Amino acid sequence: MKKNGLETLLVKFFFSAKMAWHGVAAKPLRTFLTVLGIAIGVASVISLMGIGEGARLQVLRQFESLGSNVIEIKAQDPSVEFSPEEAFELKERVSGIKYATPIIKTKAIMRWRRARGEVQILGAGSDYYKVRDYKVITGHFFTEWHVKERAKVAVLGYNIGKSLLNGRSPVGATFTLNNETYRVVGVLSKKGNSQEGLDDLIIIPYTTALKIAGKRTVDEIWVKADSAKSADLAIAQLGRIYRRKLGLDMKAPKVNPEGQNKEGQGEKEKLPNKENPENPAVPPEKQGGSPNTPENIIGGKELITITNMNTLIEEADNANRVMTLLLAGIASVSLLVGGLGIMNIMLVAVSERTSEIGLKRALGAKKSDLLLQFILESVILSLLGAVAGILAGVWGVKIFTSYGLYAVVSINALKVSTFVALGCGLLFGVYPAYLASSVPPVEALRR
């Protein structure tokens, strides 16, 4: 019995779908215009969500080029600087930090054969490529020995390394920076477009870069934690360390003018400053906090910022997701209009086919049969519109890409647009189908 009942339902569904298809095909121009409305809505959703998703991925790649679980400690005030050794002290003092490197950025005049021009120089420690998740595609990165000996060696960013010898490996070649000869020891992998222009940098030992810049201090320290959780914990520890160094920690022991704390023991901590080259981080006038001084070192005047790159990536990802959803919402309005078009067409169809409905009812068709037929007609219209819209949307994304706009075909966009299109067809087809099934046979035949 169950098998026969299932077969009956399948046969009924098959013939209802067949009649629904004939009903759709009977008016080709009307069907085309209805399908066109749905297709435009679906194509709009796919195209706009593709642009939004492309922008999100592009921003994420730029942030991820900085490396994962990376923390940037940066001086925001000219009076605040760091000693290079401070980076290695932090590695020992803060749990969870795996690598650390001082960073100094400067410029120099580069001469390569007959070419000459100004280039961006980045001075770093031997662990820099590990902090930034770089791969050395040819040669090797400079070592700790090179740093200690202030060796004149350089590792090139991808673009510079590729351009020197037209794609051939430049390892072993020499060039001059400020009339001093440097030897290329390696070339880094490509990072892509980023705000820092990572692929256009020349990286040398920070000890050598300090000589070029004529300084003894650095402006940034980069550290890398061994996990995302360790990075969060390290942020808290680094905040406490620098609040105390800058005199912003209200819980730290107070120091009297003679250099003794309240218990009369211990000397005042040497706060780095320009007058004290051994510890150049903050001048004497900024030492010692007041009750009105903000405890957060990144607040107020922003002497130092401590940034977790993982947090920046998450914030950028969330912001771009919101933008993508807004674009999808705007595009979905056209889908709603297409759904109203289906409802309008189906109401007209019910009005035109009243006699057909009455004849079917007189021959024994049930309300459920007519309800199923007209719902299937609206679903077929929306399905055709969804397929045409998907093809048009993918084509539209390719056009955007060909004009230099970064866009991708989002699987979520395909799912959302198809689901909404079918949902509109089903939703806006129910009322006309109900009207069609509710027409009395005698009244229908009389019309």
**Region 117-125 average pLDDT:** 93
Q: Which pLDDT value is given to residue 428?
A: 78
Alpha-carbon span 313 to 332, nearest angstrom: 28
Q: Which pLDDT value is given to residue 320?
A: 76
Instruction: Indicate whether 93 pLDDT > 50.
Output: yes
How far are the Cα atoms of 38, 367, 431, 439 from residue 447, in angstroms, in the given order?
32, 19, 21, 11
Q: Where are the domains of the chain?
A: 9-61+314-446, 70-311
Task: Tell the burial category of 6 from Cβ atoms under 10 Å away from its Cβ (0-12, 13-18, 19+).
Answer: exposed
Q: Are 54 and 358 in contact (CB under 8 A)?
A: no
Q: Are 22 and 349 in contact (CB under 8 A)?
A: no
For 135-146, give the DSSP string. -EEEE----HHH
Q: Are 246 and 282 in contact (CB under 8 A)?
A: yes
How far are the Cα atoms of 46, 146, 241, 268, 288 from residue 246, in angstroms, in the given order?
52, 33, 9, 13, 7
Alpha-carbon span 428 to 341, nearest angstrom: 9
**Region 53-79 average pLDDT:** 79
Of the candidates 368, 378, 386, which has an alpha carbon nearest to the alpha carbon of residue 40?
Answer: 386
Question: In DSSP terms, which residues pair with 112 in a beta bridge?
Answer: 115
Instruction: Indicate whether 204 pLDDT > 80.
Output: yes
Q: Which pLDDT value is given to residue 366?
A: 78
Core vs surface per residue 166-205: b (16+ CB within 10 A) or e: eeebbbebebebeeeebebbbbbbbbeeeeeebbebbbbb
The band of 196, judged by pLDDT with boundaries at 50, 70 and 90, is low
Looking at residue 261, what DSSP letter applies? Answer: B
The band of 419, judged by pLDDT with boundaries at 50, 70 and 90, is confident
Higher pLDDT, 194 or 227: 227
Looking at residue 269, what DSSP letter applies? Answer: P
Residue with tokens 């290079």: 84
Q: What is the pLDDT of residues 329-382, one digit of tens each?
A: 777 777 777 777 777 877 777 777 777 777 777 777 777 777 788 788 888 888
Which of 176-180, 291-295, 318-322 is predicted with the least confidence, judged by mean pLDDT? 291-295
Alpha-carbon span 35 to 345, nearest angstrom: 11
Instruction: Indicate whether 235 pLDDT > 50.
Output: yes
Question: In DSSP terms, which residues pair with 70 in a beta bridge?
Answer: 224
Q: What is the pLDDT of residues 18-52, one digit of tens each?
A: 887 887 888 888 888 888 888 888 888 888 888 88
Q: Are 75 and 219 in contact (CB under 8 A)?
A: yes
Alpha-carbon span 199 to 188, nearest angstrom: 8
Q: What is the pLDDT of residues 261-277, one digit of tens each?
A: 443 343 334 434 434 44
Residue with tokens 């005199």: 247
Alpha-carbon span 233 to 222, nearest angstrom: 16
Q: Are 106 and 209 in contact (CB under 8 A)?
A: yes
Q: What is the pLDDT of residues 429-444, one digit of tens each?
A: 777 777 777 767 666 6
Alpha-carbon span 246 to 271, nearest angstrom: 7
**Region 103-130 average pLDDT:** 91
Of the candidates 322, 335, 360, which has an alpha carbon nearest to the alpha carbon of residue 441?
Answer: 360
